[in-house]
Structure 1
Amino acid sequence: MNRYVYIGDIYNTHFPQVIQILDTENGFPTTPVEGVSGIWVDATGNTAVQVGWKVLQSWQPNGTSVFVFVEPTYEDHVAITSARIRKELDKAIEWLTFHPLHYKHDLGVATSDEEASLRAYKQYFVALTEVENQPDYPSTINWPVIPF
């Protein structure tokens, strides 16, 4: 059985991490993980590696690279969580830019469905900013569902 890991930096934390693990009898995968820029590497024999682990890369004198997979520290978890919060807020703000529910509300022309949508967005923003108050933060997070 061959083991391959997909390495990427999904939340722009500036350190790569394991995004997906594939155990297969087939050859080296070539299809990237949808929506994530990264690379597949061979990790056959490494049964400890887990999704979310940091990836350290070093170069050997012969020019080949060696990947080492390590469990993220508390500080790494905080950095990943903060980066994801920023990314989620940016996506929501971008959506609201093109669906200006708050302007319709302010002008008094929002429908009841639009008012409900605006309320859902406000609840989502508040929930994102309160992620740090969850009991198992930052190792385990119950992420709020984006309302669009």
Structure 2
Amino acid sequence: MNRYVFIALYNLKVYQILDTDETIPVTPPDTVLGEWVDVTGNTTVQVGWSAFRVGDHWVFAAPTYDQLVREGREIATLLLADTQKWLLLNPFDYKVDLGVATPAEEAALLAFKQYVVAVSEYKNQPDFPYTITWPTIPFPFV
């Protein structure tokens, strides 16, 4: 059995692991720019680990506690920024305040607020920062 990891070039992290009897893949997963690397025999490397090139081979390192905390904060910040952009284009809070919101718009605003609270509470999850389960976005990005 061969083991390959895909290293995403935008952040030099392990993006995917593939255990197969086949040869090294040539196409990237999900159109992510990166590189497949043969790590057959290395059963410790995990998705999300950092990848560093040392000479002519790759070295992998598990993220530290502080790195995981920082990454969680960065993801939460991005998610909350996206929700603010969405609310600018869909001002349901103003419609509710003015008494002109439809029931569907009121429900959308409630879902929006629940989502923002859930994202903001990411640090209270039991396995934080090692495992963070992000809530499902309740609205389409347009």
* TM-based fold match above 0.5: yes
TM-fit CA distance, 1:3: 1.4
The aligned counterpart of 1:2 is 2
Cα distance, 1:90–1:31 mapped onto 2, change above 3 Å: farther
Other structure's SS at 1:82 match: helix
The aligned counterpart of 1:55 is 51
TM-fit CA distance, 1:47: 1.3
- The reply on whether 1:95 has 2:77 as its aligned counterpart is no
- What TM-score, normalized by structure 1, do the two folds share? 0.80
Residue 107 of structure 2, aligned match among 76, 93, 116: 116
- The reply on whether 1:34 has 2:43 as its aligned counterpart is no
Query: How many corresponding residue pairs?
Result: 139
Question: Matches of 2:35 and 2:50 in 1, distance apart?
Answer: 14
Question: Unaligned stretches of 5+ in structure 2?
Answer: none
- What TM-score, normalized by structure 2, do the two folds share? 0.82
Other structure's SS at 1:78 match: helix
Cα distance, 1:37–1:108 mapped onto 2, change above 3 Å: farther
TM-fit CA distance, 1:70: 1.4
Question: Matches of 1:112 and 1:44 in 2, distance apart?
Answer: 56
Cα distance, 1:105–1:79 mapped onto 2, change above 3 Å: same
Other structure's SS at 1:104 match: helix
- The reply on whether 1:107 has 2:103 as its aligned counterpart is no
* 8 A contact 2:9–2:35 mirrored in 1: no
Question: Unaligned stretches of 5+ in structure 1?
Answer: none
Equivalent residue letter for 2:92: L
Question: Matches of 2:34 and 2:65 in 1, distance apart?
Answer: 24
- After the TM superposition, list the runs of 4 or more consecutive aligned residues in structure 1 that deviate by more than 6 angstroms: none
Question: Matches of 1:87 and 1:2 in 2, distance apart?
Answer: 36
Question: Matches of 1:123 and 1:134 in 2, distance apart?
Answer: 16
Question: Matches of 2:9 and 2:85 in 1, distance apart?
Answer: 21
Question: Matches of 2:29 and 2:113 in 1, distance apart?
Answer: 31
